Each structure stands twice: as C-alpha cells, then as structure tokens.
Amino acid sequence: MPVVIKWFPPSWLQIKGEGLILYIDPAYLRTYFADYAQRIEFSKWPDPIDGLPEELEPADIILVTHHHKDHVKRPTVNRLRRPDTTILAPERCVKELGAVATGALVSPGKNFNLRGVGIRAVDAYNTASGSSTRKTHHRGEGVGYVVTVGGKTIYHAGDTDYISEMRELGPIDAAFLPIGGAFTMNLEEAIDAALTIRPKVVVPIHRFKADPGEFKRRLEANSDIQVAPLRIGEAVCLS
C-alpha cells in the first residue's frame, strides 16, 4: 500500500498509510489559506480562529514539533482528534493543548511505536552560526520527527537550522525541510541539509518568501534527489 503525504502551510502534513491517518503540526491560521477555495472556517476573530483548509479525516496520531502557533493550535487539534487519538508533543506545548495533551511528552532521542508506526523524535534548533535570522528555537525545546509507516521513512525537520545531527538520521525516503530563512535554515542551507541526508525526495516547507522552484532547480542540478515543491493541498506518493 502506498504512503500518501499531503502538505499544508507552513509545515502541516497529513500522512496516510497502513490504514492510518497521522498529522504533523496541524495549525489553521487564516493568513495561509485566504486564497484557498476549499477552506472551511467555523469561527473567526475575536473568537478563537477555528478552521480547516478542507475536509480532513480525523487522526489516529497527531505529532507536534514545538509550541509556536503556526505549528500547534488547540482548535485545530480538537477538530482533527477523536477520543482515541494519540497526541505527542514537547512539554512547552502543554500550555496550548491543555487537557488535549493526553499522549506522551517528547524530547530528542525518544522512540515510540504506535499502532505499528515507528516514531523517533530528533533534534531541531537554531544555531549561532546558522542562516536563520531569528534564533527562537532553542536546543531541547522542540523536535523533528522520523516516522516509519508502510515501509517508508519520513523526516519532518521541524523548525531548525542545518545541524550536525542530520548526519545520523539513517536512510530517509522523504524529507520535509524548511527553507524560509527567518526562523529556520534558508534555501542555501536546506540544500546542504538535503545533500547530507540524501533522501529520495525532498519537499520544501516553512517557505515564507523563499522560492521552492529555485530550491528544486539547484538541488536537482547537483544531485539525484527529487524535489516536489507542493502547492497547498497537494500530495506526494511513496510507493
């Protein structure tokens, strides 16, 4: 059975495989979906902003990389969870999630096996020498995830610069790497990260004003790595 991964901005993934639905960093912010015709909005400011980019299935598993509002929002998580949904998040997310945070707290190096899905929390942080211009992600507070489902291994980098720990990820089928440059590594550093990780396919995420087309041209010109610059709601299929 193929594994299908759909992207929503800035870093929100829906992963379907082995009969399961998994989300990473679900957070509905109106600014990202203003021109997306399929959006569904249940409430707007001054009430809590509650919406979905489109009709989405409820989750078996929800993973959160860190506490910033473009990566975790309680109304979005509530829309996607069922009573038996497992939610994994770092400790700093508990204030936002509240009683919803019923799963385990994660930190780099922790491993889980949930419903046959392998989940490994890995480092994600800004470095003093990295290309990010805003150093708001401190080591140990947030994570990335390596998810193994349906025989495929998926790396969601979280908000991070290019870090040495990326050399230790092991074989990766699909890597989702930030390229925006403000709070994360920029396009140039993301190319270096991809060349280090050597996944079969890379999807640029957390883009801001960076050009995913330029990322694709430059990386594919210097490697055999496929780049899939997805548009909102588009998916990549791993078969």
Higher-scoring residue by pLDDT: 45, 42: 42
- pLDDT above 70 covers a percentage of the chain that reads 98
The answer on pLDDT for 101 being more than 80 is: no
Contact of 114 with 89, CB cutoff 8 Å: no
CATH code for the domain defined by 3-238? 3.60.15.10
The answer on pLDDT for 6 being more than 80 is: yes
- The answer to whether the pTM exceeds 0.85 is yes
The full set of domain ranges for the chain reads: 3-238
In this predicted structure, what is the pLDDT of residue 44?
86
Contact of 10 with 173, CB cutoff 8 Å: no
Average pLDDT, the chain: 95
In this predicted structure, what is the pLDDT of residue 99?
67
Question: In which element (H, E) is residue 78 found?
Answer: helix 74-80
In this predicted structure, what is the pLDDT of residue 28?
97
Q: 19-34 burial by CB neighbour count: b if 16+ within 10 A, else e? A: ebbbbbbbbbbeebbe
The answer on pLDDT for 57 being more than 80 is: yes
In this predicted structure, what is the pLDDT of residue 8?
98
In this predicted structure, what is the pLDDT of residue 102?
59
The answer on pLDDT for 100 being more than 90 is: no
The answer on pLDDT for 212 being more than 90 is: yes
Of 7-16, 92-101, 165-174, which range is least confident? 92-101
Contact of 229 with 202, CB cutoff 8 Å: no
The answer on pLDDT for 223 being more than 90 is: yes
